[in-house]
Structure 1
Amino acid sequence: MSQLQSTSAPADFYGKTRIGLDAIDVFSTCPQSTAGDPKTYRQRVVEVARWSERIGCRGILVYTDNSLADPWLVSQLILEHTATLSPLVAVQPIYMHPYTAAKKVATLGFLYGRRIYLNMLAGGFRNDLVALGDDTPHDERYARTTEYTLIIRKLLKSPSGVSFEGKFYHIHNLKMSPQLPPSLQPGILISGSSDAGMAAARAIDATAIKYPLPPNEERGVEKGAGVPCGVRVGIVARHSAEEAWRVALERFPETREGQLAHQLAMKVSDSEWHKQLSSHSPAVDYDHPYWLGPFHNYRTFCPYLVGSYERVAREIAGYIGLGYRTFILDIPPSEEELEHTAVVFREALAG
């Protein structure tokens, strides 16, 4: 097992520490187009994708909202510059018909022979939806996303025409070409932080993703949940807790501007997970890895685990013990940071 002895990784460390994927699936996250220079963004996406593949990630989440570059085109860039990494494409139903989304999955499979994952959205930023003329209530959006995803699944699996009569979508004898082989059928993920989200996950046979509380406060995957579950977390880990916290606080400083942006987002959001996390303190506790400082300062949308490799690995092992088998990481700032994270998962799985 690889261990780091300092903040700087040795030259031969890169690519040596891989996440074991037999027991769990780990996804990294692609940089956002709003956070970089257009001239360098393309190269940044390629770099992060290659780092993620090198440490053994299953895939990489590609965000979508009104302010970002098209996730399908970004995902094609990722496919062109990696060999095994699967894009996890965020899909907002209001952006396109389910036939169009299914056609993109089928076409990427046809062109690259690679499997795509879909991160089905029911919400997103409320202001984005309003700008698009959509005022559908929270639970109804999950019902719409359920219909949307069922149509995608049917189109990609059926060699003959598909008909569907629902509340939101109606199709008749619709056929998909090119056909997608069974081995390339997309993996489906969806937020499972609310009852409506869990119901949707069961209906579409998706992995339900939560923004978790600390493992000792999490209920875990409930008996009879009927679907696989996962969590979204960021990680900053080093050989010592002191060094990890130094890095974390430098990367995510507390700012009044960020706090105000978070408060504004709270006013316009109807997401259950957003409300749940916002109710917890962002204070630093050096004796406990769970930290919401970046979330409360509008720097990211997930909790962070900060500490020594061993301590953070115990937290990850705690989530695995609760039944969570999929982990979506935050955007990595460097290849070295992903290597540090890989050490954590190796220790968690070895323990």
Structure 2
Amino acid sequence: MTDLAASGVTVYSTARSSIRRDEQYHLRRLLEVARWAEEAGYRGALIYSDNTSIDSLMSAQAAIAHTESFVPLVAVQPIDLSPFALARSVSSLAHLYGRRIDVNFVSGGFSRDLAVQGDTASHDERYDRLTEYATIVKKLLTGGMVNFAGEYYNFRRARLTAPVPHDLLPTAYVSGSSPASLQAGEALGVGQLSFPLLPEDFAGPDVRKNKFGSGISVGIIAREDSAEAWRIAHKRFPATPEGADRMKLLLSTAVSSWQPQLAAVPIPDEAPGQTYWLVPFRYHHTFCPYLVGNYDEVAQAVSTYLDGGIRTFVLDIPEEPDDLWHARTAIERAVTARAARQQQSPLSEG
């Protein structure tokens, strides 16, 4: 098994816990995905933050308490808790369990979530607020005293009693694909997570990338046989009129730039030989595109993303543990192929 971390590639899965389930389902499903990710050698899994999910930090604590090395990638929105409260939670988990969490800073979520909390900030204003928020969190986590007078936050002599040990400091990302999100990520010195366009478009020289690193959220259905991969894909994500109507409603209330951008990608639902597949997104099954095919076909798409600077992959929610292993096989093939190319032409690739 290829050591993905040693190759500079980080892979997370995704765990989502909707509150429209019975209470026993939440924990069972969360721990299921956490253990699957740990066994498959992933770094961890993204835990969503929105008003239809269990609190992301409490979910992270539950996952840490029942695993050995799993790292929750916790989505955090400034309107949900103060920067001091987030820093204290990260520090508390580090000191209670000797474990880290990673943080995905999200500027906002769905319009309904913003509305119920009375948040009327514009798209770019939310990224300005996020920059202030994450700046304060980073200073607190490293033990610094924070004196900060900004447009959104004011702190005087704020300090954590127990800063996070250096080896447990979180890896952080800013979520988004707009110029404002890119500016926020680079101002903070952290990588970017976004939903990818077609591999060849995303890796193009005219697409500006965050100089501190880029990652994508994408689903992967890979199998030894391409026909089997597509059979599974069509069974899981049917193209239904009801799904199309739900997506139209979502787009009509979108507050993020990535949703209309992804919806506008000009490819048909079914295109022979096309690995990149938008049906799961277009018909409101999930929030990301998929890569579907045999291992080599998916590996080729992953290789193109790697060539475009992508080093972090956040894979969609798995239905079974084999999903993670099959996806890992394709990613490993891409990483191995890229390493071979670099050895042959060390000056030709970044």
TM (norm. structure 1) is 0.91
User: Which residue of structure 2 aligns with residue 11 of structure 1?
Assistant: none
Question: What letter matches 2:198 in structure 1?
Answer: P
User: Which residue of structure 2 aligns with residue 214 of structure 1?
Assistant: 198
User: 2 CA distance for matches of 1:324 and 1:282?
Assistant: 25
Query: Secondary structure of 1:258's partner?
Result: helix
* CA deviation after TM superposition for structure 1 residue 282, in Å: 5.1
Q: How many residues align?
A: 334
Equivalent position to 1:327, from 313, 323, 335: 313
* Deviation per residue, 1:222-242 (Å, 9 max, x gap): 678422111111000111111
2:127 is the alignment partner of 1:142: yes
User: Which residue of structure 1 aligns with residue 288 of structure 2?
Assistant: 302
Question: What letter matches 1:269 in structure 2?
Answer: A
User: 1 CA distance for matches of 2:330 and 2:33?
Assistant: 19
Query: Secondary structure of 1:33's partner?
Result: coil
Equivalent position to 2:68, from 74, 83, 107: 83
User: 2 CA distance for matches of 1:171 and 1:220?
Assistant: 42
Mark the CA change 1:36 to 1:317 in structure 2 (over 3 Å): closer, same or farther: farther
Question: What letter matches 1:51 in structure 2?
Answer: W
Task: Indicate conservation of the 8 Å contact 1:192/1:198, yes or no.
Answer: yes
The runs of 5 or more residues in structure 1 that have no matched partner are 1-16
Mark the CA change 1:292 to 1:80 in structure 2 (over 3 Å): closer, same or farther: same
* CA deviation after TM superposition for structure 1 residue 248, in Å: 0.1
* Deviation per residue, 1:270-299 (Å, 9 max, x gap): 211111111124511231110000101111
User: Which residue of structure 1 aligns with residue 329 of structure 2?
Assistant: 343
Mark the CA change 1:104 to 1:195 in structure 2 (over 3 Å): closer, same or farther: same
User: 1 CA distance for matches of 2:44 and 2:124?
Assistant: 29
User: Which residue of structure 1 aligns with residue 9 of structure 2?
Assistant: 24
Say which is worse superposed, 148-157 or 206-215, in terms of deviation: 206-215
Query: Secondary structure of 2:220's partner?
Result: strand
Question: What letter matches 1:318 in structure 2?
Answer: T
Question: What letter matches 1:50 in structure 2?
Answer: R
Query: Secondary structure of 2:272's partner?
Result: coil
Question: What letter matches 2:183 in structure 1?
Answer: A
Task: Indicate conservation of the 8 Å contact 2:203/2:309, yes or no.
Answer: no
Equivalent position to 1:173, from 124, 141, 157: 157
Give runs of aligned pairs for residues 148-297 of structure 1, distance below 5 A.
148-159=133-144, 161-220=145-204, 225-280=210-265, 281=267, 283-297=269-283
* CA deviation after TM superposition for structure 1 residue 302, in Å: 0.6
* Deviation per residue, 1:20-63 (Å, 9 max, x gap): 22220001001322464322221111111011011111121000
* Deviation per residue, 1:139-188 (Å, 9 max, x gap): 000000000000000111125x3110100000000110222111111111
User: 1 CA distance for matches of 2:280 and 2:46?
Assistant: 19
Question: What letter matches 1:217 in structure 2?
Answer: D
Percent of matched pairs sharing the same residue = 39
Equivalent position to 1:315, from 301, 311, 314: 301
What value does the CA root-mean-square deviation take over the aligned residues? 1.6
Say which is worse superposed, 215-224 or 102-111, in terms of deviation: 215-224
Query: Secondary structure of 1:217's partner?
Result: helix
Task: Indicate conservation of the 8 Å contact 2:203/2:304, yes or no.
Answer: no
Mark the CA change 1:282 to 1:102 in structure 2 (over 3 Å): closer, same or farther: farther
Mark the CA change 1:346 to 1:90 in structure 2 (over 3 Å): closer, same or farther: same
Give runs of aligned pairs for residues 10-21 of structure 1, distance below 5 A.
20-21=4-5
User: Which residue of structure 2 aligns with residue 119 of structure 1?
Assistant: 104
Mark the CA change 1:296 to 1:177 in structure 2 (over 3 Å): closer, same or farther: same
User: 2 CA distance for matches of 1:305 and 1:34?
Assistant: 29
Mark the CA change 1:232 to 1:35 in structure 2 (over 3 Å): closer, same or farther: farther
Mark the CA change 1:56 to 1:193 in structure 2 (over 3 Å): closer, same or farther: same
The runs of 5 or more residues in structure 2 that have no matched partner are 338-350
Say which is worse superposed, 22-31 or 167-176, in terms of deviation: 22-31
Q: Which consecutive segments of 4 or more residues in structure 1 shift more than 6 A?
A: none
Mark the CA change 1:35 to 1:258 in structure 2 (over 3 Å): closer, same or farther: farther
User: 2 CA distance for matches of 1:240 and 1:323?
Assistant: 28
Query: Secondary structure of 1:48's partner?
Result: helix
Query: Secondary structure of 1:315's partner?
Result: helix
